[in-house]
């Protein structure tokens, strides 16, 4: 994501959500369909399970964002950790449906909405607080996706940022104008 000065918190958050979505997708693209389902141990989740949980959270938090509690009564959170999507096509459909809820809720808002009150699990939050809560939540899970993908790819991993051992070269390219800063 190119850094751009903005005075809009919402524009910055939308850009950040899009960046997180994109880097998770680049990590998942590096894996086989089978690797998306790998569980490292009994207490771990596969990438497919993390995606299913994120999508369930996104649907619950962002549907009727301004008017209904962010924890919808029909959400079955525990089931998000059972029976993940079994194919890449199913997984990506779940992933996209979750993100469409995020963007549909946030894109119509303006900065004047940031002080409005919304509820999550009965607790009052400003719109800004609710967004911050979800930025943090999704960043943690996207970190899990990237960690698992990198672990599974091992030496075949294609870096999503500056590859290991290439910082000095990247800095030289930035300083010479050959590369944009990240």
Judge whether 153 and 31 are in contact, CB under 8 Å. yes
pLDDT of residue 31: 98
16 within a domain of the structure (yes/no)? yes
Nearest CA-CA partner of 60 in 91, 101, 18: 101
Q: What is the structure's pLDDT at 84?
A: 96
For 35-63, b where at least 16 C-beta lie within 10 A, e where not — what string?
A: bbbbeeeeeebbbbbbbbbbbbbbbbbbe
Task: Give pLDDT, residue 4.
Answer: 58
- 67 found inside a domain: yes
Q: Is residue 44 part of a domain?
A: yes
Q: Is residue 122 part of a domain?
A: yes
**43 touches 154 (CB < 8 A):** no
Claim: this prediction has a pTM higher than 0.85: yes
Query: In the numeric block, which tokens belong to residue 128?
Result: 């800004």
47 in a domain, yes or no? yes
Give the model's pLDDT for residue 181.
52
CATH code for the domain in which residue 149 is found: 1.20.120.450
Task: Name the 3-class secondary structure at 67.
Answer: coil
Structural domain boundaries, residue 63: 9-175
**Beta partners for residue 123, in sequence order:** 120
pLDDT tens, residue by residue, 130-147: 999 999 999 999 999 999
Q: What pLDDT was estimated at residue 173?
A: 77
Report helix angle 127-153 to 47-62, nearest 10.
Answer: 170
| Cα–Cα distance, 94 to 86 (Å, whole number) | 11
pLDDT score for 1: 47
Ranges of residues in the chain with a pLDDT under 70 are 1-6, 180-182
pLDDT for the residue numbered 17: 98
Q: Is residue 41 part of a domain?
A: yes
Structural domain contains residue 180: no
Whole-number Å distance between alpha carbons of 51 and 35: 14
User: What's residue 143's pLDDT?
Assistant: 98
**Overall number of domains in the chain:** 1
Give the pLDDT of residue 180.
63
In a domain, 21, yes or no: yes
The reported pLDDT for the residue numbered 2 is 52
R_g over Cα of the chain: 18
String of DSSP letters for 106-144: HTT--GGGGGSEEEETTEEEEHHHHHHHHHHHHHHHHHH
Which of 139, 140, 138, 141 minimizes the C-alpha distance to 47? 141
CA geometry: angle at 178 spanning 12 and 8, to 5°? 10
């Amino acid at each position: 994501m190119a850094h751009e000065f903005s005075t809009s918190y919402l524009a910055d958050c939308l850009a950040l959500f899009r960046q997180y979505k994109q880097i998770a997708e680049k990590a998942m693209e590096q894996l086989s369909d089978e690797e998306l389902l790998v569980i490292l141990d009994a207490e771990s989740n596969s990438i497919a399970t993390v995606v299913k949980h994120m999508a369930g959270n996104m649907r619950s938090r962002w549907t009727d964002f301004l008017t209904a509690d962010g924890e919808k009564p029909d959400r079955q959170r525990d089931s998000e950790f059972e029976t993940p999507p079994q194919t890449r096509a199913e997984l990506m459909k779940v992933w996209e449906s979750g993100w469409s809820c995020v963007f549909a809720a946030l894109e119509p808002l303006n900065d004047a909405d940031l002080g409005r009150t919304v509820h999550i699990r009965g607790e009052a939050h400003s719109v800004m607080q609710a967004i911050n809560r979800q930025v943090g939540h999704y960043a943690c899970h996207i970190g899990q996706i990237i960690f698992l993908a990198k672990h599974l790819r091992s030496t075949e991993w294609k870096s999503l940022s500056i590859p290991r051992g290439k910082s000095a070269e990247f800095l030289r390219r930035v300083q010479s104008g050959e590369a944009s800063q990240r």
